[in-house]
């Protein structure tokens, strides 16, 4: 039995190693067009920035080590030109010698990954892209050769912002140009606003809602004119690297993704596909999706190998758990965003909480902002986003696990998580998100949101209340809100009208929630600003476009 694997990195290498562990009798051949297999593409930005000093640290296996340990034949610099699914053969080309030959397979695993998108704009050949170790070396050589001081990154997704961070740490002045209204598009606008405010402080210039129309000798052309830089790196997303399959009988989507079933089988039962190039179902919505991430690619590689060996493993979908470090900040997501929930037509609700990374009395506690989305009818958790500085990944992993197990908001309240002052809080950030969501579901509190604040009437028909301290108010306030600090509220109850809706805010949403509870019997109805003044202010400062009705310019 001979299995050929196209692509020797995340999905391909994982499939090969699992196949060998399951069967000593298989003949396994990996075909890789690049010079390396099993390299850490996720580590490339850090090699660029200098955190990873030796390129060899990025290479987890070599053809020789794979052969020695797993008895796997690895052919690097070899391009799989085409698949002949009738004859079960591949046409291969040795990229060093030009020699072409065919190989026959009993099973084929396709793990060709994804290519950086190169928009059809003038001068595109002048821009660099990042996918491989040689790509990274080319960028580093160019920086050195030109003594580059400035860089433009086109695209503010995960990879683009990571490149931006690393070049900035290397001492370059970095500009990120993004077509959308915010960077890191898996975050919603207001959560990305936290990240943007921080990376700006770190010296990265952001150009949002900006389209690059040309790569020039000195930078890029935008609608507003030429933006100059010594090097331009295109990081405008990825697309499946499946052009070589166009004339094969393997079914592809219109976007070039390979269609697979839950056992990673294509329409041709002996051909499997895994990783970035395979279409997956979104674990939360069930919709067919393109979610290129390393964890799913590795898991799918293992599943394809299992099925070839007769184990009936299945893949249940990708939920998009991802995390990014930007200087000292961490942002993480799992499940779907509010934008995606709206697109999928889901009936959802949301909360924002602001918690400390560990007990606030123990030195070094840092705040983190957490957004939680759940389905209104079932209370099932749909997704979460966190931006903060410490312990973000751990909270996100907990929520990711709850989503994977089909959990709901109450499950978050019940989780018993490790606690000692240096590590967390007795009422953990994840528990707090659950408590807050439960308060909303059980209608203990009604919420209003950052993008609704400026739409509230200022004609006296509602009462706008700010329960922060006088000192806090001095450093910034929202027009029309009357300040009565929370601790004076009981004694000043008479100043709050009984016959009008009351909208309350504090800094983070906690004191205003307490105020709502105090006023329960006093007022007609009370609304709490979810995320508080903090989130409102950060998001409003990042507002550019007219997407949010009250902020149209
Ligand atoms: P790949 O790992 O890309 O491997 C595909 C291989 O197939 C390539 O080496 C390619 O040369 C080869 N190939 C393609 N076509 C052919 C052919 N016709 N013949 C022969 N060989 C072929 N994901 C995360 O989850 N977290 C991260 O932090 C993260 N950071 C990233 C940073 C960067 C800079 C990049 C580029 C990606 C990052 N990713 C990250 C994405 C992650 O690397 C991919 O999701 C994962 O590698 C996909 O695995 P794969 O096997 O599908 O494709």
Q: According to the model, what pLDDT value does residue 553 have? A: 31
Å from CA of 14 to ligand 1 middle:
12
Work out which ligand 1 atom sits closest to the CA atom of 131. 36
42 in catalytic set: yes
Residue 543 has pLDDT above 90, yes or no: no
Work out which ligand 1 atom sits closest to the CA atom of 80. 19
Å from CA of 204 to ligand 1 middle:
27
Work out which ligand 1 atom sits closest to the CA atom of 45. 34
Mean pLDDT of 142-156: 98
Q: Is the CB of 275 under 6 A from ligand 1?
A: yes
Q: What is the largest CA-CA distance in the chain?
A: 89
Q: Which of 314, 263, 274, 265 is nearest to 298 (CA)?
A: 274
Residue 233 has pLDDT above 80, yes or no: yes
DSSP state of 262: T
Give the rounded percent of residues in the chain with a pLDDT score beyond 70. Answer: 98
Give per-residue pLDDT as tens, 433-462. Answer: 999 999 999 999 999 999 999 999 999 999
Q: According to the model, what pLDDT value does residue 545 have? A: 53
Residue 35 has pLDDT above 60, yes or no: yes
Q: According to the model, what pLDDT value does residue 549 have? A: 57
Å from CA of 8 to ligand 1 middle:
9
Mean pLDDT of 495-501: 96
Q: According to the model, what pLDDT value does residue 153 have? A: 98
Which of 41, 256, 319, 393 has most ligand 1 atoms within 8 Å of CB, for mutation? 41
Q: According to the model, what pLDDT value does residue 347 have? A: 98
Give per-residue pLDDT as tens, 425-435. Answer: 999 999 999 99
Q: Is the CB of 74 under 6 A from ligand 1?
A: no
Q: Is the CB of 239 under 6 A from ligand 1?
A: no
Q: According to the model, what pLDDT value does residue 254 have? A: 97
Mean pLDDT of 24-32: 97
Mean pLDDT of 316-324: 98
Return mean pLDDT, the chain: 96
What angle separates helix 10-22 from helix 294-308, to the nearest 10 degrees?
A: 30
Given a contact cutoff of 8 angstroms between Cβ atoms, the answer to whether 79 and 98 are in contact is: no
Cβ partners under 8 Å of residue 551, min gap 6: 451, 454, 540, 543
Q: According to the model, what pLDDT value does residue 552 have? A: 38
Residue 357 has pLDDT above 90, yes or no: yes
Work out which ligand 1 atom sits closest to the CA atom of 8. 6
Q: According to the model, what pLDDT value does residue 547 have? A: 53
């Amino acid at each position: 039995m001979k299995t050929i694997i196209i692509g020797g990195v995340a999905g391909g290498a994982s499939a090969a190693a699992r196949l060998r562990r399951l069967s000593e009798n298989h003949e396994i051949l990996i075909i890789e067009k690049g010079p390396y297999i099993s390299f850490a593409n996720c580590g490339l930005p850090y090699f660029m920035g200098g955190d990873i000093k030796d390129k060899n640290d990025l290479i987890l296996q070599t053809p020789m080590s794979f052969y020695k340990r797993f008895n796997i034949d690895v052919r690097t610099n070899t391009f799989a030109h085409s698949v002949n699914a009738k004859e079960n053969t591949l046409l291969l080309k040795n990229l060093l010698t030009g020699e072409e030959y065919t190989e026959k397979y009993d099973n084929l695993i396709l793990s060709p990954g994804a290519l950086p998108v190169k928009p059809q704009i003038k001068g595109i050949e002048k821009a660099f892209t990042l996918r491989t170790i040689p790509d990274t070396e080319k960028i580093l050589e160019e920086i050195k050769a030109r003594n580059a001081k400035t860089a433009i990154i086109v695209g503010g997704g995960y990879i683009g912002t990571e490149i931006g961070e690393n070049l900035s740490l290397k001492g370059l002045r970095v500009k990120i140009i993004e077509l959308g209204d915010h960077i890191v598009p898996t975050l919603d606008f207001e959560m990305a606003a936290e990240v943007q405010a921080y990376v700006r402080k770190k010296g990265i210039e952001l150009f949002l809602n900006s389209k690059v129309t040309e790569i020039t000798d000195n930078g890029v052309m935008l609608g507003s004119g030429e933006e100059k830089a010594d090097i331009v790196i295109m990081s405008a997303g990825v697309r499946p690297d499946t052009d070589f399959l166009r004339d094969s009988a393997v079914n592809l989507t219109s976007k070039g993704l390979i269609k697979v079933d839950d056992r990673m089988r294509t329409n041709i039962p002996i051909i499997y596909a895994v990783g970035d190039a395979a279409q997956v179902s979104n674990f939360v919505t069930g919709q067919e999706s393109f979610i290129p991430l390393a964890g799913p690619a590795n898991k799918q590689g293992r599943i394809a190998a299992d099925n070839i060996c007769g184990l009936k493993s299945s893949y249940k979908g990708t939920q998009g758990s991802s995390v990014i470090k930007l200087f000292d900040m961490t942002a993480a997501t799992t499940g779907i965003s509010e934008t995606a929930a709206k697109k999928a037509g889901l009936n959802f609700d949301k909360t924002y909480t602001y918690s400390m990374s560990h007990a606030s009395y123990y030195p070094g506690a840092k705040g983190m902002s957490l957004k939680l989305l759940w389905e209104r009818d079932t209370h099932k958790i749909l997704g979460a986003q966190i931006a903060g500085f410490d312990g973000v990944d751990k909270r996100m992993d907990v929520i990711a696990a709850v989503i994977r197990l089909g959990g709901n908001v109450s499950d978050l309240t019940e989780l018993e998580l490790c606690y000692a002052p240096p590590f967390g809080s007795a009422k953990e950030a994840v528990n707090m998100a659950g408590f807050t969501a439960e308060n909303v579901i059980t209608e203990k509190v009604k919420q209003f949101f950052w993008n609704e604040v400026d739409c509230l009437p200022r004609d006296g028909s509602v009462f706008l209340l700010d329960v922060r301290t006088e000192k806090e108010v001095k450093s910034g306030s929202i027009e029309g809100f009357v300040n009565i600090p929370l601790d004076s509220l009981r004694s000043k109850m008479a100043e709050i009208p009984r016959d009008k809706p009351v909208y309350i805010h504090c800094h983070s949403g906690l004191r205003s929630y307490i105020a709502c509870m105090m006023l329960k019997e006093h007022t007609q109805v009370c609304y709490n600003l979810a995320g508080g003044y903090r989130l409102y202010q950060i998001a409003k400062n990042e507002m550019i476009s007219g997407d949010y009705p009250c902020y149209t310019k």
